[in-house]
Amino acid sequence: MKTSDTNLKVQETLIRLGDQPLANGFKTNRGDLTPKFKLSYGVDEETGLLTQIRTPSIENMFNDSYPYVSSGSKVMVEHFKKAAEYCSATLGKEKKNILEIGSNDGVFVKNFSTDEAVCVEPCGNFAKITSDLGYKTYNKFWNIETATELLEEHGKFNYIYSANCMCHIPDIVQAFAAVSICLKKGGVFVFEDPSVLSMINNNSFDQLYDEHVHMFSPSAVANLLDKVGLTIYMVKHFKDIHGGSNRYYVIHKDTMFALDRSVNKALEDEEQVFRHGIKKTYREFNTNISKNAELLKTLITSLSRTRGQIVIGYGATSKLTTILNYCEITSPQDIKYVLDTTPEKIGKLYPGTNIHIKKYQEDSLKDVGYALLGAWNFKDHILEKESKAPTSFITHVPYVTIL
Ligand code: TYD
3-state secondary structure 146-193: HHHHHHHHHCCEEEEEEECCHHHCCCHHHHHHHHHHHEEEEEEEEEEE
CB 297 near ligand 1, within 6 Å:
no
301: helix, strand or coil: helix
Q: Which atom of ligand 1 is least distant from the CA of 75?
A: 24
CB 364 near ligand 1, within 6 Å:
no
CB 139 near ligand 1, within 6 Å:
no
359: helix, strand or coil: strand
Could you tell me how far CA 222 lies from the centroid of its own chain?
Answer: 19
Question: Tens of pLDDT along 7-27?
Answer: 899 999 999 999 999 999 999
Question: Tens of pLDDT along 285-294?
Answer: 999 999 999 9
How far apart are alpha carbons 147 and 182 in whole angstroms? 6
> Residue 48's pLDDT is what?
98
DSSP 122: S
Question: Tens of pLDDT along 236-247?
Answer: 999 999 999 999
Residue 334: pLDDT band (50, 70, 90) is very high
> Residue 4's pLDDT is what?
64
How far apart are alpha carbons 27 and 290 in whole angstroms? 27
> Residue 3's pLDDT is what?
56
How far apart are alpha carbons 279 and 257 in whole angstroms? 34
CB 348 near ligand 1, within 6 Å:
no
CB 44 near ligand 1, within 6 Å:
no
Residue 90 predicted with pLDDT over 80: yes
Angle at 71 between CA 126 and CA 74, to 5 degrees: 175
Test site for ligand 1: of 22, 71, 73, most ligand atoms within 8 A of the Cβ: 73
Residue 371 predicted with pLDDT over 80: yes
Question: Tens of pLDDT along 298-313?
Answer: 999 999 999 999 999 9
Mean pLDDT computed over 327-353 = 96
> Residue 1's pLDDT is what?
57
Test site for ligand 1: of 123, 341, 364, most ligand atoms within 8 A of the Cβ: 341
Nearest protein Cα to ligand 1, atom 17: 315
